[in-house]
Amino acid sequence: MKNRIKKQVKCGIVILAAGDSRRLGEPKQMLSYRGKTLISTAAETAMATGLEPLVVVLGAQIDSLIPELEPYGLKIVVNKHWQEGMSSSLRIGLETAIKEKGELEAIIFMVCDQPFVTPELLLELVERASDESKLCVASKYGEVRGTPALFRKQLFPALFTLKGDVGARKLMEQYETQVELVDFPLGIIDIDTKNDYETFLKE
């Protein structure tokens, strides 16, 4: 797949996996799907794109998650302030990716509880970002614009200003006319509760 991204936007991936899954009652990152944990599935999906760097942001549950991720050789960073909310993980993930590869032109944020994300979807985001008038390329499911989502470097300063439990959707609203959308109907399936997981396994 590396050949597909030649001469395209230099883009890395940040996997956001720092939450404590409080509503679920156990680490959602370690839930099993098709014989693999969700965090392993996300790592393998990201690796299959050929994009670099690949960063995983952890926070809670690091004792179980770090051993799960070590075989993949991704850059693991621990967000000690994960309880401040999603924005703190966005910031530390982006900061780490820039340190790993300073000439980054864009970054993709993805989460591990969207098990139907594919390498092809992630590369579609990159291909759409070749239009320099688009500052963001986001996934669309239902009425939602969300992850996985790509942000061009023009928005990096704005990403660093996010505070609290605010994801990057705030920026999508602010720069609405410069957001490209990619249909991803299965993105609506995420796992926050035991009922979500049980329903998901039946599908």
pLDDT for 48: 96
Calpha distance 61→195 (Å, rounded): 21
Whether residue 21 is predicted with pLDDT greater than 70 in this model: the reply is no
User: What does the pLDDT look like over 163-182, one tens digit per residue?
Assistant: 877 678 888 888 889 999 99
pLDDT for 60: 81
Q: What percent of the chain clears pLDDT 90, i.e. is strictly above it?
A: 53
Q: Which of 18-22, 43-47, 102-106 has the highest mean pLDDT?
A: 43-47
pLDDT for 4: 46
Whether residue 27 is predicted with pLDDT greater than 80 in this model: the reply is no
More confident residue, 142 or 122: 122
- Global pTM reads 0.90
17 confidence band (pLDDT: 50, 70, 90): very high
Q: Which CATH architecture has domain 2-202?
A: Alpha-Beta Complex (3.90)
pLDDT for 9: 87
Domain ranges of the chain: 2-202
- What DSSP string describes the chain? -GGGGTTS--EEEEEEE----TTTTS-GGG-EETTEEHHHHHHHHHHTTT-S-EEEEEBTBHHHHHHHHGGGT-EEEE-TTGGG-HHHHHHHHHHHHHHH-TT--EEEEEETT-TT--HHHHHHHHHHTTSTT-SEEEEEETTEEEEEEEEEGGGHHHHHT--SS--THHHHHHTGGGEEEEE-GGGG----SHHHHHHHHH-
